[in-house]
Structure 1
Amino acid sequence: MERLRPGDVALLDIESGGPPMHVATVEVFEPGPEGFDHARLLALIGDRLAFVPRYRQRLLPVPGGLAAPVWVDDADFDLTYHVRESAVPRPGTMAQLEELVSRIIARPLDRSRPLWEMYLIEGLEDGRVAILAKSHQTLVDGVSTIDLGQVILDHDTVARERIPDDWVPRREPSALSMLAAAAQTRAAAPDVTAPARAVARAALRHNPLALGVRAGRSAPESPLQTTLSQQRRFHTVRTDLDDYRQVRRFHGATVNDVVLATVTGALRFWLMTRAESVHSSRQLRAMVPMSVLDNDLEPTSLGSQVTGTVLALPIGESSPVVRLHQVSYALKAHKDTGKAVSALRLIGVGGFAPTTFHALGARVAADSRGREFNLVVTNVPGPQFPLYAAGARMLETYPAQPLLPDHAMAIGVTSYDGGVYYGITADRDAIPDVDVVGQCLSEALAELVDTTSETRMRAPRGRTADGPLDG
């Protein structure tokens, strides 16, 4: 039997007394000629579930909590429980979709069942549908399990042959056998089977952030640090990849640099709308999970190819160009290690990998080892060509990252088929103006693009310093 790892026990412990620790993705589709409904999604997932056997397993606690829970096959697995249907009033807007997603991602997953859900959401304008997928972080490790959302997408509309699936649930271990296995393993490696609560405490001692403890250099003060409510807000922003490429070519940065500079400018503008001070030396610190290359790893070992980098975001800098160069310079150390992975390599790993990499990024952020930061920003490149689910073309994809304790906002970014898609998850009470954050992202990108025009470059320095609505 496979036992839950200590880091995953800590994730469950965080969730028991705080925010849910699942990751989610919202994807918008244009149905094909044959349409796309709940029955079609159900059949697609049923056909692909063999690729992710963990999605048919649940956690079984060891009697008395004497060891970490174990993964067991769900003898009563019910696909229709996990694959659900919902709708917004026709013709549904993105704002209505965001409100529905906000409510769904706020609900924790049922621990007595496999830890995932997927929703087909109908009623969007122009006949579109959306898929909302929720997977707990303990499911997706990038080694034995990738995200379910990664395996339901194809590069074309060609119908695939059904995958032979003769899955039969294995018998659940008895309480006596679980206790015997725990005792046997403890004798061989005492630290492996320490009681689950002790395991969680040990992991949390290495991760004070999980308990809301400020260790070492504390994160800069901001509205982003607060006690969380149980409810969430979710907001989406769609931008064009060509804008980032234009800024990259003109200023000599990377697309990732431009994305992070855009986030920096947006946070500056948002704080200004709240009458917050953004003096010249003010910074916010972002946990930015980065992909690294290790030639000793197998190509499918994605979990070990993501590491956490704490980046100082210079929100006090008034010039968008200087902000960009400061972000680029701060990331240069990571690039100079020689282990940074190119976007082309990432998008070639296992099909549409962003769903899995966002989940791995969330795991890295949760296992922060006491490093202090204000928010998490995950940015994952996707393929620049269309993908399909059962013949329906995916138009947009937005990550919904979980909130860590005392962290009121998280931002996920995915580039795909000519677009760059932001998903902003926020605490409902702490950040009621999450839509303003979205507007500020658009304004910050427009400001950077504006610096690439010849007339703008000849303009007096400082014209772009005043706020998000400056042209």
Structure 2
Amino acid sequence: MVGTPGRDALTGGIVDRPGHYHRGDMVNRLSPDDAMYYFLDRSGTTTHLGALLILDPAAAPRGAALDYAALVALVENRLQLVPRYRQVVTEVTLGLARPLWVDDRDFDITFHIRRSALPQPGDDEALSEFIARVMSRPLDRHRPLWEMYLIEGLPDGRIAILTKTHRCLLDEEQHLEISEVITDETPEVGHYEEDLWMPGRPPGSRAVTMGALAEAVARPGELVESVFSGTGPIADLLSLADQSVRFVGNTVQQLVNAAPDSPLNTTASAARLFTFVWVPRTQVQEIAERFECSFNDVVLAVVTGVMRRWTLSVKDSMSHGETVRAVLPLGAREPVADERAGGGWICEGRAEFITDLPVGEDSPSVRLMQVAGLAERYSQSQRRMTPGLRPLLPELGVVPFADVSTRVFNRIFQRSYNVPIRIADRRIGCRYVNGVPVRDLFTVPPLLASRALAISVNEYCEKVEFAFLADRNVLGDLPAMAGYVLDSIDELATGGFEAITDTGAGPRSGTAGSPEEE
């Protein structure tokens, strides 16, 4: 397999084939968003995410197998598709500029890919605890910011792969997470030609510092030139000013209409808990058809039922109008129908909106009606759109705004919502790793500061797969949420139309929470 020559969006160099670059003299600096997530680790949190793939070797075609050596060989062959996975982040002296991506001259793939085994009986509880321990540990900043684990000892001879990737590696959609790179859509294993990767020579610290100063000194000249040409930093600054005005307006609106008080906006430690569960896709589809709502409306109603049960477990009482505020990708409202369309299952960096989950509603039927109505309404409201976490004035002079503004924005958005929900915007067809079928695919969402819980949902093969990551010291009862998912889907499946008939409203007409002027 040979790629088409073109210009690579990551390095700006010319690509002869995947992984082979003519870098030229261009400095490969972290983007403002990359740098923001990199610096966020200094604010008492970690910004890594990943995926859990559970494989069934017994169902693999004859000749297909996966052991540690085969996994290493597969990953090594496909790292050419994700060059950042062989690069380290090098900071600039005194923060004069954003850090650089630099090839790791001591890259050791066996450091990043590790072999582990669960204690018997190797059940879901043991697997969840293993994942929680791995996700609690920060990544080694002296090496490329990712890890992968081949996990053995699961029941029935199954094995699992856990990936862990720093968020700064995934700036744009074409920068895939490693789990998206090692999987195939068919049992046939796709191989790229041998990757003759050779690390580039790292720049010296003096050269990095002088380069940063030279960039800063060059900016005034570029500003003057842009007065005549109409391009360059002047246009960028005008665009930044316009974006900033709109951003400040949206931010003030979100702060005025802050999320309800909740322990979900607490960070107690870097220790994590993880749990996961799946439900049949046909069950979700039947509920959607029965209530004449969208598939993702049902998914969101299931999550609402989970949050209702959790709220009742930590509070003595709950009012009828009580809500939990969530943020989710805008693409979840209009998912891609064709599962073969491009894209993967890590939905970071997408446009988002904020909606309310009516956890105070007793009736599951009415709750679904309200969830659908609120999500439809707020997904079309500019006041409920959110730019997400972004650096403030990311590039201006020599001041390291990415580091400073990261902390500022982190505080600003602390109360804009209670829980992030990552719902993939497309159905994922069945995948294979080295010919071995992937039976389950759960994404592990990032857990940022001021958040105690993050939820992800994937529609994979014939399953809808839910994963929960939480601060261990805030949500010590997280494992119960797997059971809450099953309870919530069951009550929707067994519920009737009585509640809807009594209210005289259709499935999309319900509302909850405070009214908001559009």
Does the pair score TM above 0.5? Answer: yes
Choose from 489, 495, 501 the match for 1:445: 489
Deviations 1:117-155 (A, max 9, x none): 000000000000000000111001234511111111111
> Post-superposition shift, 1:242?
0.8
Structure-2 change in CA distance of 1:163 and 1:325 (3 Å):
farther
Amino acid at match of 1:136: H
Aligned position for 2:185: 155
Aligned position for 1:71: 101
Aligned position for 1:378: 422
* CA distance in 2 between partners of 1:129 and 1:300 (Å): 25
Deviations 1:295-337 (A, max 9, x none): xxxx789989821111111111112122212221222246669
Cα contact 1:408–1:427 (8 A) shared by 2: yes
Cα contact 1:91–1:126 (8 A) shared by 2: no
Aligned position for 2:350: 306
Aligned position for 1:391: 435
Cα contact 2:72–2:113 (8 A) shared by 1: yes
Greater Cα offset, 134-143 or 103-112 = 134-143
> Post-superposition shift, 1:4?
1.6
> Post-superposition shift, 1:445?
1.0
Greater Cα offset, 136-145 or 156-165 = 156-165
> Post-superposition shift, 1:75?
0.8
Cα contact 1:155–1:386 (8 A) shared by 2: yes
Could you list the runs of 5+ residues in structure 2 that have no partner in the other structure? 1-26, 224-231, 234-245, 249-253, 335-341, 382-405, 504-518
* CA distance in 2 between partners of 1:367 and 1:229 (Å): 16
Amino acid at match of 2:157: G
Q: Does residue 1:263 correspond to 2:303, yes or no?
A: yes
Aligned position for 1:465: none
> Post-superposition shift, 1:266?
1.2
Cα contact 1:207–1:367 (8 A) shared by 2: no
Choose from 156, 176, 192 the match for 1:146: 176
Greater Cα offset, 35-44 or 7-16 = 7-16
Amino acid at match of 1:449: A
Structure-2 change in CA distance of 1:7 and 1:159 (3 Å):
closer
* CA distance in 1 between partners of 2:324 and 2:499 (Å): 28
* CA distance in 2 between partners of 1:377 and 1:88 (Å): 29
State the secondary structure of the residue aligned to 2:351. Answer: strand
Q: Does residue 1:228 correspond to 2:268, yes or no?
A: yes
> Post-superposition shift, 1:367?
7.9
State the secondary structure of the residue aligned to 1:141. Answer: coil
Q: Does residue 1:281 correspond to 2:321, yes or no?
A: yes
**Residue correspondence of structure 1 range 184-203 to structure 2 within 5 A:** 184-189=214-219
State the secondary structure of the residue aligned to 2:284. Answer: helix
**Residue correspondence of structure 1 range 331-370 to structure 2 within 5 A:** 331-333=375-377, 370=413
Aligned position for 1:45: 75
Choose from 29, 41, 56 the match for 1:3: 29
Deviations 1:27-82 (A, max 9, x none): 10011344321111111101111111111111011123221111011111111111
Amino acid at match of 1:285: R
Could you list the runs of 5+ residues in structure 1 that have no partner in the other structure? 194-205, 209-213, 294-298, 338-362, 462-471
Structure-2 change in CA distance of 1:101 and 1:314 (3 Å):
same
Structure-2 change in CA distance of 1:218 and 1:140 (3 Å):
same
Structure-2 change in CA distance of 1:19 and 1:387 (3 Å):
same
> Post-superposition shift, 1:397?
1.2
Q: Does residue 1:166 correspond to 2:196, yes or no?
A: yes
* CA distance in 2 between partners of 1:100 and 1:91 (Å): 13
State the secondary structure of the residue aligned to 2:214. Answer: helix
Structure-2 change in CA distance of 1:230 and 1:248 (3 Å):
same
**Residue correspondence of structure 1 range 429-468 to structure 2 within 5 A:** 429-451=473-495
Choose from 233, 240, 254 the match for 2:280: 240
Percent identity over the alignment is: 33
Cα contact 2:331–2:425 (8 A) shared by 1: no
In terms of Rg, which structure is larger? 2
Greater Cα offset, 112-121 or 176-185 = 176-185
Choose from 38, 57, 75 the match for 1:12: 38
Q: Does residue 1:115 correspond to 2:145, yes or no?
A: yes
Greater Cα offset, 180-189 or 436-445 = 180-189
Amino acid at match of 2:78: R
Cα contact 1:291–1:305 (8 A) shared by 2: no
Amino acid at match of 1:27: L
Aligned position for 1:21: 47
Cα contact 1:382–1:416 (8 A) shared by 2: no
> Post-superposition shift, 1:225?
2.2
State the secondary structure of the residue aligned to 2:118. Answer: strand
State the secondary structure of the residue aligned to 1:113. Answer: coil
Aligned position for 1:415: 459
Q: Does residue 1:101 correspond to 2:131, yes or no?
A: yes
* CA distance in 1 between partners of 2:289 and 2:162 (Å): 35
State the secondary structure of the residue aligned to 1:161. Answer: coil
> Post-superposition shift, 1:402?
1.9
Aligned position for 1:131: 161
State the secondary structure of the residue aligned to 1:221. Answer: coil
Aligned position for 1:468: none
Amino acid at match of 2:50: A
Amino acid at match of 2:488: A
* CA distance in 1 between partners of 2:318 and 2:501 (Å): 24
* CA distance in 1 between partners of 2:195 and 2:368 (Å): 50
Cα contact 2:33–2:171 (8 A) shared by 1: no
State the secondary structure of the residue aligned to 1:109. Answer: coil
Structure-2 change in CA distance of 1:109 and 1:307 (3 Å):
same
Q: Give the TM-score of the pair, scaled to structure 2.
A: 0.73
> Post-superposition shift, 1:207?
10
Cα contact 2:149–2:163 (8 A) shared by 1: yes
> Post-superposition shift, 1:250?
0.9
Cα contact 2:347–2:423 (8 A) shared by 1: no
Deviations 1:238-266 (A, max 9, x none): 11111110111011111111111111111
> Post-superposition shift, 1:14?
2.2
Choose from 95, 116, 136 the match for 1:86: 116
Q: Give the TM-score of the pair, scaled to structure 1.
A: 0.80
The number of residues matched between the two structures is 414
Cα contact 2:410–2:449 (8 A) shared by 1: no
Amino acid at match of 1:120: L
Cα contact 2:364–2:491 (8 A) shared by 1: yes
